[in-house]
Structure 1
Amino acid sequence: MADIIFNEINSGSDNLDNLVKDLNGNFTLILTNPEQTLIATDRMRTYPVVYFLNDDKNLVITDSLEKYCKENHVSFEFDEDALEQYFCSDYVAGPFTIFKNVYSVQSGEIIKIKLADNSISRIQYFNWTPKMTDDENERDLTYEARIQDEIFSSVFARMIKSAPGVNNWVIPLSGGYDSRVIVNYLYKKGIKNVICYTYGIKDNIQSLISKRVSEALGYKWFFIDYPEWKDRLYESNLIESYLEYAFNGTSVAHLQDFPAVYALKEMGILQPTDVFVPGHALEVIAGNHLDSDMLSCPTIQSAIPILKRHFSGFGYYSKSRTNVIKQIKKIITEYNTLPAQICECFDWKERQTKFIANSVRCYEFFGFGWRIPEWDLELFNYWEEIGFNYRFKRIMFKEIFKNYLLVDQLKQIPFANDILENNRVPLKTKLINQIPLSIKRILKGLGMGQSSFIPGEGYHLIYNNLDETLSEYVESLSLPQSLMKYLKHYPKNQKIANLPINSITTLSNIRRIHTYIDQVG
């Protein structure tokens, strides 16, 4: 295959991207010959690598930037623009990292590097550019249900075939739709070797529904009580190692189910050949992140107010994001999409692939395999052609899944998403929802948002043992002004443990790297 691809490159053929377009599944290809190097990534960037020129002007490609730096006793300068992005959003947009002149692969991308002059060219062979207008004709849901069922059946058949030696399929089963699709189709396929788990604070709504689903299908189910495990996890010192493993210059480590996987392994429930199957991220391509304002985006500038939501980290003081938005505008200008498609494309290309899909590093860290069937190419192709009116709020997906695709054993079990959307929630949460956004930001900054805004899931407890304040953190290192402008507006006694979990992880990453850079000099 390498010879075929290089022949296409050397001939100047326009068919190069088609060779990679036909590949399905998860991959990063790295091919080299004396003239050039080629890197190609899948549509989700599930195996991210970074590339740069070292001091000798030699090309370096690595999937572990920090490990490379330590082994070679080198360091890099911070790129303050990218660092500020990372600070506000948990990832770095575009082909950049938080370091100067160090680049990261992007989703659906082919990178060609000519070794004679180290020139770089990038080909975007795939973009998530779904239809952003309403379907003119009414869709026959019975017909669409048959098509969707055929697609899901093919998707899960491919997944099962891809892991012939699997011991158990391990499903992080919430009370929502995406993970229920997975167990629904494993059951339809007659797969018995399935373990389901959920986590958080005892009797949270996700866990209660998850248990019902597992029991209805006859699958083993485990609940990991985070208050019981948080101290043991903290004392293990594994979190710091995981943060380094999952970062690679671009993405904050996803910690939400890290304690659960740790606990399942410690309890002896997991075996080396188990494969995790998380429910990422069917909700996006089926339309759950659509905003009605996207329909009226005639220009790139008109998409900016919607994109700002991705940069709300450290929101106690949010007036100084001008530079972040300026950088993002430069990046999205390079997107080969219509203005109305920019927000969906950004969500897929930046947040979903650099943060959500990066959560599989958790399973890798503990030595397990994984699959993400709901981002199969066949599903991408189907949903890309569905009109806005049928994708908005996942209208068609929900209707078809509940009424046509669910096995009989699951039809009477509600979905946590629907319960929350219908406001069948505690009075406390209803009252919180009435608080103006500006006040919520202040409360969140004061550390009052953890139990109120994320009831029951419990992952905010991971850092509960931290006693450090933000003032003490700031005194421990020399932060650039681009970051200080966000932190200086917090109360002096602000406990780091009371910040959102991803913000704490971001602070930890920045200090670890800053300390290393100072040591290397």
Structure 2
Amino acid sequence: MIHMKLKNKQYRQYYESETGFVTGTAFTKTGQMLSGEALMNYVASFDAANNLVQTLPDLNGFYAFAVRKNGDLVAAVDRIRSIPLFYGQKSDDFFLSDTAEWVREQVGDTQMDPLAKEEFLACGYVTGPDTLFPNVKQLQAGEFLEMRPSEFDAGSNTQRYYRYVHHYPMQSITEEDLLRFHQGVMENIIDRLIRFAAGRTIVIPLSGGHDSRLIALMLKKVGYPDLVSFSYGRPGNHEADISKQVADSLGVRWEFVEYSNDLWREWYESPEMKAYFDMAGNLSSLPHIQDWPAVWAFKKEDRIPDNSIFVPGHTGDKITGSLSRSCPCIYNSSRKINLPQEIMNCHYNLFDWSKRKGKLYSLFEKKILEVLDSLDQYPDQSSAFESWDISERQPKFIVNSLRVYEYFGYEWWIPFWDKKFMDYWCWIRPENRLNQSLYIKFVDNLAKELGVAIHEKEVKELFSKKKLIPIAKRVLPDEIKNWLRKKRRLHFFKDDPMGWYGIHEDGYVIEQIKNGASMINSLLAVDYINGLNNRKPQD
């Protein structure tokens, strides 16, 4: 028997019928915007899995659905898994939900999978279809599921209908033409955002980087009437200073929420944060907390309308080549790399697990290669590297941060995971993605056009340390790197611009640093795992 249960209806809107449910908003190939009943009718029209394979790659937007037809169940998430779904099976009962904990209770899992736990502590999420519990699974980005009650013994059938793989054009294209094409793409995706927002207040988490800046620039250029931007952290931090510069130059209202070590302790120990962790983690992802206090402040203090739309810059930098800064060798076509090793170097770094490399390396390597599937499908190693990131870290860590907005009752839209933006960057060659050269030129040109001037010294100061760290990792002896790493972490502990190391007692932070913790997310990952031992069954 097939059982479906929605547990997050207090956080986001679902349309339910006798045949299933849909949530989110999608655009068809012809540009029709669908949500609610209209989206349900659309997905219910699929006759079989073959129709899904042919139709879902053309469906734009952010959605999830599960529908029954002729006794069979079909479920899917969008290409970036912006709204996750979880499933599991016990004997002849199949369970599907928007909440992994409910599935865990139904299948009766009580012990975490040891490898999944190690992976979660290494990178902050569980890769592939797995979760922290062996019989609780998740739909991957760009994946659909088909379950036939007549074939329960065989289990569910899942298939990736979308995978981010580059397809470079045969002929060379001038930079001028690439920039012109990019302008058309941006106008296209901003048009969809505006249609979705429908005049409501658009709230932009405006950082010091180019992604949120580009959203603000484009919306200002087209004359969207109701914009609010904001930043947060300790007063005077670089990100906030640049954020305010951009907002002031554009004439956009700017809000600031102050953080401190003491405030973080209060926020983190609140019942609201506990409820948020339960809602956002889903036994697979480390809950994002960076802008959680800022959004809470907006809600409590009525700084924005309740129907506002949050539009973060997730994750324009990764798809446009920022990984080439931290891992430049991957974008060097003349240098053959060990791809799983480089993925581990870049992403499996919440804790130093080098002393257990003999035990864990081959297990992590196997999972990485399973996600990538056939390496022959990628035109080069940079494409495979980015594909893994877009299949794993982006959906399960970065995009999952959207749960913050949902928790406080707000809707969201992520323009840089629009189908057209992804399709465009799929055919941009590595040389134009290297150091984000093409993308940054586009943003800077638009900023100049709109009269937005950023003090170059502050921008360089913001990114200089980030550029030096990967260089130091590659050239310094291990002993010096270890010593510098601990000194740097202690510095972050005292002076981090977010102030969030105040969450824990000083002695505990220092002890975790000695145990190999590299950042705040290392400590939060441990907290999340420990918290599962005190979970209470859901109704």
Structure 1 length-normalised TM: 0.83
Match of 2:174 in 1: 139
Q: Which amino acid aligns with 1:377?
A: K
User: How far does residue 198 in structure 1 lie from its aligned partner after superposition?
Assistant: 0.7
Distance in 2 (CA, whole Å) between partners of 1:202 and 1:252 is: 27
Secondary structure of 1:181's partner? helix
**1:363 matches 2:405:** yes
Q: Which amino acid aligns with 2:45?
A: I
Q: Deviations over 1:378-410 (max 9, x none)?
A: 111111111111111111111222125654221
Match of 1:482 in 2: none
**1:457 matches 2:497:** yes
Which residues of structure 1 form unaligned runs of 5+? 472-486
Q: Name which of 311, 318, 333 aligns with 2:348.
A: 311
Which residues of structure 2 form unaligned runs of 5+? 1-41
Distance in 2 (CA, whole Å) between partners of 1:453 and 1:163 is: 39
Match of 1:327 in 2: 366
- Closer, same or farther: CA 424–39 of 1 in aligned 2, 3 Å: closer
Q: Which amino acid aligns with 1:334?
A: D
Secondary structure of 1:294's partner? helix
Distance in 1 (CA, whole Å) between partners of 2:482 and 2:363 is: 19
- Closer, same or farther: CA 88–408 of 1 in aligned 2, 3 Å: same
Q: Name which of 82, 86, 101 aligns with 1:66.
A: 101
- Closer, same or farther: CA 30–462 of 1 in aligned 2, 3 Å: farther
- Closer, same or farther: CA 258–220 of 1 in aligned 2, 3 Å: same
Mapping 1:208-227, distance limit 5 Å: 208-227=241-260
Relative to structure 2, which stretch is displaced further, 97-106 or 121-130?
Answer: 121-130
Assess if the C-alpha contact under 8 Å between 2:123 and 2:350 holds in 1.
yes
- Closer, same or farther: CA 148–466 of 1 in aligned 2, 3 Å: same
Distance in 1 (CA, whole Å) between partners of 2:207 and 2:372 is: 37
Q: Which amino acid aligns with 1:259?
A: P
Q: Which amino acid aligns with 2:230?
A: Y
User: How far does residue 295 in structure 1 lie from its aligned partner after superposition?
Assistant: 4.9
Identity, in percent, stands at: 25
Q: How big is the alpha-carbon RMSD for the aligned residues of Structure 1 and Structure 2?
A: 3.6
User: How far does residue 36 in structure 1 lie from its aligned partner after superposition?
Assistant: 2.0
Secondary structure of 2:125's partner? coil
Assess if the C-alpha contact under 8 Å between 2:298 and 2:304 holds in 1.
yes
**1:506 matches 2:539:** no
**1:16 matches 2:52:** yes
User: How far does residue 352 in structure 1 lie from its aligned partner after superposition?
Assistant: 0.8
User: How far does residue 264 in structure 1 lie from its aligned partner after superposition?
Assistant: 2.4
User: How far does residue 3 in structure 1 lie from its aligned partner after superposition?
Assistant: 4.6
Mapping 1:81-480, distance limit 5 Å: 81-118=115-152, 119-131=155-167, 137=172, 139-141=174-176, 143-164=177-198, 166=200, 168-227=201-260, 229-290=263-324, 291-295=327-331, 302-309=338-345, 310-315=347-352, 318-320=355-357, 321-332=360-371, 334-335=373-374, 337-338=377-378, 340=381, 341-404=383-446, 406-412=448-454, 414=456, 418-421=460-463, 439-441=480-482, 444=485, 449=489, 451-452=491-492, 456-461=496-501, 463-464=503-504, 468=508
Q: Which amino acid aligns with 1:508?
A: D
Secondary structure of 2:135's partner? coil
Distance in 2 (CA, whole Å) between partners of 1:265 and 1:437 is: 47
User: How far does residue 145 in structure 1 lie from its aligned partner after superposition?
Assistant: 2.5
Q: Name which of 37, 50, 57 aligns with 2:92.
A: 57
Distance in 1 (CA, whole Å) between partners of 2:477 and 2:301 is: 44
Distance in 2 (CA, whole Å) between partners of 1:147 and 1:413 is: 28
Structure 2 length-normalised TM: 0.80
Assess if the C-alpha contact under 8 Å between 2:95 and 2:103 holds in 1.
no
User: How far does residue 42 in structure 1 lie from its aligned partner after superposition?
Assistant: 0.8
**1:4 matches 2:37:** no
Match of 1:41 in 2: 77
User: How far does residue 432 in structure 1 lie from its aligned partner after superposition?
Assistant: 11
Secondary structure of 2:323's partner? coil
Relative to structure 2, which stretch is displaced further, 106-115 or 327-336?
Answer: 327-336
User: How far does residue 439 in structure 1 lie from its aligned partner after superposition?
Assistant: 4.2
User: How far does residue 355 in structure 1 lie from its aligned partner after superposition?
Assistant: 0.4
Distance in 2 (CA, whole Å) between partners of 1:150 and 1:111 is: 34
Distance in 1 (CA, whole Å) between partners of 2:509 and 2:185 is: 51
User: How far does residue 27 in structure 1 lie from its aligned partner after superposition?
Assistant: 0.7
| Count of paired positions | 486
Q: Which amino acid aligns with 1:4?
A: S
Distance in 2 (CA, whole Å) between partners of 1:206 and 1:241 is: 29
